[in-house]
Amino acid sequence: SPKKQWSLQDFEIGKPLGKGKFGRVYLAREAKSKYIVALKVIFKEQIEKYKIQHQLKREMEIQTALRHPNILRLYGWFHDSERIFLILEYAHGGELYRELRKRGFLSENKAATYILSLAQALAFCHEKDVIHRDIKPENLLLDHEGRLKIADFGWSVQSRAKRRTMCGTLDYLAPEMVENKAHDYAVDNWTLGILCYEFLYGVPPFEAENQTDTFRRIMNVDLSFPSTPCVSIEAKDLILRLLVKDSSKRLSLQKIMEHPWIVKNTDPTSICNK
Ligand SMILES: COc1ccc(/C=N/Nc2[nH]nc(C)c2C(=O)Nc2cccc(NC(C)=O)c2)cc1
């Protein structure tokens, strides 16, 4: 189908969903089809100020091209004199982060389902030579059925509620990232280990008072498992096989999908199989 030229007139704007450094996200409805979307408004002067035109363009090309049930769709975009508008899939459940904070920590079934969805989405990205999706709970949304959607396109939106400063956190970065070495696909595998720990314990494994201590804990892979909440040894086994300093020794995405903890804790119906 020839690319439709969208404009603001095509949409009825609803409630604001959240705001960020570069703009806000609104609930919106396409006027003719009544189709619900999320409209992300980014101010051009912010883009120019932070010199991220190329990043935004690359992120939009990636997001438009990647079609996967666990990656939030970018349907299209348009702009006016001072703003760029991204027409994004609407995920009714909002940020996974909020569910995690609300519950403290997740059940092993939920955690395993999310990790499997992420592994499938990342395997799809890696097939398309896309790496380092900045996956942290802030960039993960849930749809109306609670299915996970990777929603990062380079900059997360901050909800109105007070939140820990996400922009500076090192918590999710692999050692080779923190050391600013060339990173490859395996950084995403490390991050899955971080997320798996955080889903099950409610905090990331290397959290510390300040960035220096977090940096040291990451570089030393200074990992310990609290005695509560009670977590199965299979879950710990998966985390230990992902949080490995030597990136070549981390469990592959395929092996994650076949890991006993994942197989045991995911019911095949709930995840998106192609
Ligand atoms: C504040 O309570 C909320 C509950 C649910 C939502 C749902 N957001 N769903 C989305 N679908 N596609 C996109 C893009 C979004 C989105 O950006 N959501 C968003 C943005 C900023 C903050 C939040 N905050 C939370 C808590 O979800 C969500 C948004 C806000």
Q: Which two tokens stand for residue 155?
A: 């900059």
**162 pLDDT tier (thresholds 50, 70, 90):** very low
ipTM value of the model?
A: 0.95
The DSSP code for 71 is: B
**Mind listing the pLDDT tens digit for each residue in 182-224?**
667 888 899 999 999 999 999 999 999 999 999 999 999 999 9
Give the dihedral sign, CA 167/146/223/229. positive
Distance 204 CA to ligand 1 centre (A): 22
- Cα atoms found within 13 Å of the Cα of residue 97, Cβ hemisphere only: 19
Query: What mean pLDDT is predicted for residues 82-105?
Result: 95
Residue-by-residue DSSP string for 77-120? EEE-SSEEEEEEE--TTEEHHHHHHHHSS--HHHHHHHHHHHHH
Burial tier of 236 (Cβ tally within 10 Å: 0-12, 13-18, 19+): middle
Pocket probe mutation, ligand 1, options 159, 163, 166, max atoms within 8 Å of Cβ: 159
Q: pTM for this structure?
A: 0.89
Distance 164 CA to ligand 1 centre (A): 17
Query: What mean pLDDT is predicted for residues 23-27?
Result: 92
Which alpha helices (DSSP H) does the chain contain, by range?
A: 44-49, 53-65, 96-103, 108-127, 175-178, 186-201, 211-219, 233-242, 253-258, 260-265
- Residue 134 annotated among the catalytic residues of the structure: yes
Query: What mean pLDDT is predicted for residues 147-175?
Result: 63
Distance 272 CA to ligand 1 centre (A): 21
**Mind listing the pLDDT tens digit for each residue in 60-73?**
888 888 899 999 99
Q: Measuring from atom 20 of ligand 1, which residue has the nearest CA? A: 18
The DSSP code for 12 is: E
pLDDT confidence of residue 265: 97
pLDDT confidence of residue 12: 98
Give the dihedral sign, CA 64/110/35/88. negative
Distance 207 CA to ligand 1 centre (A): 25
Catalytic one of 134, 152, 171, 188: 134
Rounded distance, CA 249 to CA 273, Å? Answer: 27
Ligand 1 atom with the smallest distance to the CA of 151 is: 14
Cis peptide before 16 (omega within 30 of 0): no
